[in-house]
Chain A
Amino acid sequence: MKKPYIKLLGLFIAILLIGFLFTSLRSSKKYKFDMSAEELHSELVASNHEMDPNKAWDILSNNNDDYIFVDIRNPREFANFHIEGAVNVPLQRVLDDEFIPYLKNEKKKVLYSNESIKANEIRLLLTQYGYDNLFVLQGGARYWKENMLSKDVFKSRGEYNDNKLKFDPNKMKAQK
């Protein structure tokens, strides 16, 4: 008379276990964000993580060890041209385990893409994901190649400011 109860109890526990295993697998937490969008928003309003090309130039020429340059373009573009000393972490693989040592460390990481938009988006993604000390090289590889490495001494190495309006709005009216 005792045995059927034990069998039923075993069945009960087995179903519970399978059920919990199934639900926990479905809501995989591997790629869950650390920070809410609102928290990231307040961080973006409060602080600036843009790196001026001139500052980057100083860092490189002083061999400043606190910084590491991270190229998020594809390996072909990286092989073609990259900033001296940069490591290549292709954009589509930034969340892969093998690149964690490059991105999660004490150093200040300066991300760059061809321009700055992709690097900025990856910075936001990784910041919300829980990484810190990430910066975005303004102007990206294109500006670096055309202006910082230019042999033309007359070409300006002026500041690169994405947030500045580069034309005079009044000119639009004057053309009437």
Chain B
Amino acid sequence: MKARYILSIVLVSLGLIAAILPQNQNSSLELDAKQLLNEIQVENYVISIDEMANAMINDDPEYQLIDVRSKEEYEKFSLPGAMNIPFDQLFNEEWAPYIDQVARKNVFYCNGTTLASDAWMLTRQKGYKNNYILKGGLNNWYTTIIEPDEPTLTNGQEAMYDYQARLGAKQFFTGAGAADNSSNKKKAKKPVPRRKKKMVAGGCS
């Protein structure tokens, strides 16, 4: 008799706690300040120019370049295969399937680093994964691929390999083999939605 009372009281109080608990499951995805600070320190969200150039030459479907500059800048010059998501439209509904997905590595770039790093910080805080930054942006792209410094003997063998690869990449991006920049712009790959669309509530469908 007494055991039954105790059991019912325990169950009722647990039920009450469960009923009053906050229900926002969404916020568990978002990062708090400490978690975001940890990610900044680990710094595994930066893609080097050499890695990106290699991926582009091999037409690696895993990478999607995203130009976060304005439409005008994008139209004037952009990297082959890049799509344009102007920074001021970052959270527009239409881009959500592109920046919040699990299928590809998105690589944000701008002229330098600020805009791309802004975009990364905002999307990461919201809990989106698979977004990266192109190290040093377009300016670094130019000095690394188009005008690479010739390594001296003291730089070692590895630097020499990198240099050879860069010369090859330069040939690829500027040489006769490279198509005109405008025609080289591939269509952005189709987005892969992260979440299933919500079912239509009510009514007979």
Contact = CB atoms under 8 A, between A and B. Distances in A.
Interface of A: 4, 8, 11-12, 15-16, 19-20, 23, 27, 30-33, 37-38, 40-41, 44-45, 50, 91-92, 94-95, 115-118, 120-122, 124-125, 128-129, 161-167, 169, 171-173, 175-176
B13 A16 contact: yes
Contact of B77 (A15, A92, A122, A169): A169
A165 B91 contact: no
23 contacts: A15-B9, A15-B14, A16-B16, A23-B17, A27-B22, A31-B32, A31-B34, A33-B30, A38-B91, A41-B90, A41-B122, A45-B87, A92-B37, A118-B40, A122-B40, A162-B113, A163-B114, A165-B138, A167-B146, A172-B77, A172-B174, A173-B180, A176-B176
A41 B89 CA distance: 9
A40 B5 CA distance: 53
User: Majority SS of interface residues in chain B?
Assistant: helix
Given A23-B21, A27-B22, A12 B111 contact: no
Majority DSSP secondary structure for residues of A touching B: helix
Contact of B125 (A44, A91, A128, A161): A128
A165 B178 contact: no
Contacts of A173: 180-181
